[in-house]
Amino acid sequence: MFKKGVYMKYTILLISSLLVLSFSAIAQSTYRWVDSNGQVHYSSKPPAVVEANVKKPEAKEETTASLAARLRAEEKAKQENQKEQVKDNQVDKKEVDDKQAAYNQAAQEKAAQDGAQLKVVCESMRKDLATYTNYPRAKVNVDGVVRRLTSEELSTKINDLQSKIKENCQDY
C-alpha cells in the first residue's frame, strides 16, 4: 500500500513536531533583579527579599502544518538544486565537447598546412636531386660564383637528398 520511504517521512514529521511542541512546555520564566551593591542577578526562582522582573521565554511555536510546509519547501528546493546541478553538468559537458571539436578542427587545419609545406619542401628536394643528377658539375655559391663540385661532394649531396626524400616524402 505505502512505499517504504513514506513511513519514514511520516515518522520523522511526527517526531519533529513533538520535539517542537515539547520545547515550549519545558521553557521556564527567568527572574532578573539588582541587589544592594548594584549587581545584576538572574535566576529561575524569584528572590525572597527583592522584587524581580519576570522575563518569559519567547515561545516560537511551529505548528504541524507550518512544519510540514517548511519540510515540503526544503524538499522542493533540494529537488530544484539537483535539477540545476544536472543541467549545469550537461552545459559543462557541451562546453567541453565544443572546445574539443574546435581543438580537433585546429589540429586538422595545422596538419593540412604542415602537409602542404612538406609537399613544397619535397618538390624542392626532388628538383635539387634532378639538378644534381642531370647537371653534376655546376654549383652556385652564395656569392653567385659558379664552381664545379667534386665527385665526393656530388655523391654526398645526392645521397643526402635521396635519404631525406625517402624518410619524409613517401606520401607526397
Instruction: Report pLDDT digits (tens) over 66-87.
Output: 777 788 888 888 888 888 888 8
- pTM assigned to the model: 0.39
SS3 content of the chain, % helix, strand, coil (to 5): 65, 10, 25
Task: Write the burial class of residue 132 (CB in 10 Å: 0-12 exposed, 13-18 middle, 19+ buried).
Answer: buried
Q: What are phi and psi of 54, to 5 degrees?
A: -95, 125
User: How confident is the model at residue 3, as a pLDDT?
Assistant: 58
User: How confident is the model at residue 138, as a pLDDT?
Assistant: 66
pLDDT at 30 over 60: yes
CA distance 20 to 17: 5
Mean pLDDT of 101-123: 85
Residue pair 13/68 in contact (Cβ under 8 Å)? The answer is yes
The residue whose grid cell reads 507550518 is 66
